[in-house]
């Protein structure tokens, strides 16, 4: 028996498990790490092999190399591996190397402390939306999405800002057609989405209520990079029944802080 519900993911991943194809170790490594990220839990070598469409023997070899480098580590009694300490160091180095990003993270901390709400930093990864970092509200149960998980752009408030620089035509080519379908089955008409994008661009912020799920009110404000483009967004994830007055206050704060983080063009 396969130890997991992994088979669906193999097919979903779209990686053609073409037979007889030989691939480079580097590419295997990249595929492996991304598979691990999507799965979000330790995996066994056999399952990894299936997931990335690599021979078992090759996968063992690669995993052992990465284990030795501490990019992966064993977890649990046997067989399971997950990201290792080295990854943490690399990631930490990434997020602290540039002053702008550090400033953003500090703002994130401050906003979370001041408001007690869930705050996120969002961006694009390919043609998907991802949460780059977040500070969750202190309650025991929270409404949030995991850092690094790819989500369809039309499901999010931030997504409406992040494609703001594109024409309708460009957006149409950029976002996969299936991404307009919400998790609950509803479908967003592309025209409606384009209108949202235009509105977000005019307003300088974007809000969605009970869109990707029934419980959240999301508001996002753009962080402009040096060239005036929108690279990242700052975002509150609120309970949908948050009073309007408070929403207004939070929106003001959000826009102010996002403006403060934007770089004015060279």
Partner DNA sequence: CACTTTTGTCCGGTATTTCAGACATCATGT
Partner DNA sequence: ACATGATGTCTGAAATACCGGACAAAAGTG
213 touching a second copy, by CB under 8 A: yes
Q: Which does 45 bind (CB under 5 to 8 A by kind): a second copy, DNA, none?
A: DNA
257, 195 contact by CB (below 8 A): no
Q: What is the per-residue binding string for a second copy in 103-142, x denoting contact by CB under 8 A?
A: --xx--xx-xx---------x-x----x-xx--x-xxxxx
Q: Is 159 in the site for a second copy (CB under 8 A)?
A: no
Distance CA 95, CA 98 (A): 7
Contacting DNA within 99-158 (CB under 7 A): none
- Contact range with DNA by CB under 7 A, out of 19-27, 185-193, 195-203, 247-255: 19-27
Q: What contacts 138, CB < 8 A, 6 or more positions away?
A: 116
Helical spans, DSSP H, in 13-84: 25-39, 45-52, 56-68
Q: Does 183 contact DNA by CB under 7 A?
A: no
Q: Cβ 126 to a second copy, closest distance in Å?
A: 9
Nearer to a second copy, 49 or 212 (CB): 212
> What CA–CA distance (Å, rounded) separates 258 from 183?
29
The least distance separating a second copy from the CB of residue 169, rounded to whole angstroms, comes to: 26
Residue 156's nearest CA partner among 114, 200, 113 is 200
Query: In the range 68-107, which residues lie near a second copy by CB under 8 A?
Result: 69-71, 75-77, 80, 82-99, 101-102, 105-106
Question: Quick one: CA torsion of 130, 135, 140, 142, rounded to 10 degrees?
Answer: -30
Residues 6+ apart with CB under 8 A from 167: none
Contact assessment for residue 44 and residue 36, using Cβ atoms and an 8 Å cutoff: no
| Binding-site ranges for DNA (CB under 7 A) | 1-3, 19-26, 28, 44-47, 54-58, 60-62, 64, 78-79
């Amino acid at each position: 028996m396969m130890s997991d519900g992994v088979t669906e993911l193999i097919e979903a991943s779209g990686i053609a498990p073409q037979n007889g194809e030989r691939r480079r170790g580097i590419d295997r490594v990249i595929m492996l790490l991304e598979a691990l990220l999507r799965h979000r839990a330790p995996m066994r070598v056999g399952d990894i092999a299936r997931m990335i469409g690599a021979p078992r023997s090759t996968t063992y070899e690669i995993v052992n190399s990465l284990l030795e480098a501490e990019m992966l580590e064993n977890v649990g009694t046997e067989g399971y591996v997950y990201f290792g300490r080295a990854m943490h160091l690399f990631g930490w180095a990434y997020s602290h190397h540039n002053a702008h990003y550090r400033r953003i993270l500090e703002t994130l901390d401050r906003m979370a402390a001041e408001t007690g709400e869930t705050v996120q930093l969002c961006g694009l990864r390919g043609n998907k939306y991802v949460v780059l970092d977040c500070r969750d509200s202190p309650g025991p149960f929270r409404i949030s999405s995991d850092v690094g998980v790819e989500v369809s752009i039309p499901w999010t408030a931030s997504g409406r800002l992040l494609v703001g620089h594109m024409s309708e035509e460009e957006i149409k080519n950029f976002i996969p057609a299936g991404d307009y379908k919400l998790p609950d089955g509803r479908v967003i008409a592309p025209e409606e989405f384009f209108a949202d994008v235009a509105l977000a661009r005019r307003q300088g912020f974007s809000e969605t209520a009970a869109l990707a799920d029934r419980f959240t009110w999301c508001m996002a404000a753009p962080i402009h990079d040096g060239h005036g483009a929108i690279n990242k967004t700052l975002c509150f994830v609120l309970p949908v029944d948050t009073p309007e007055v408070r929403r207004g206050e939070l929106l003001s704060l959000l826009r102010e802080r996002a403006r403060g983080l934007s770089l004015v063009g060279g």
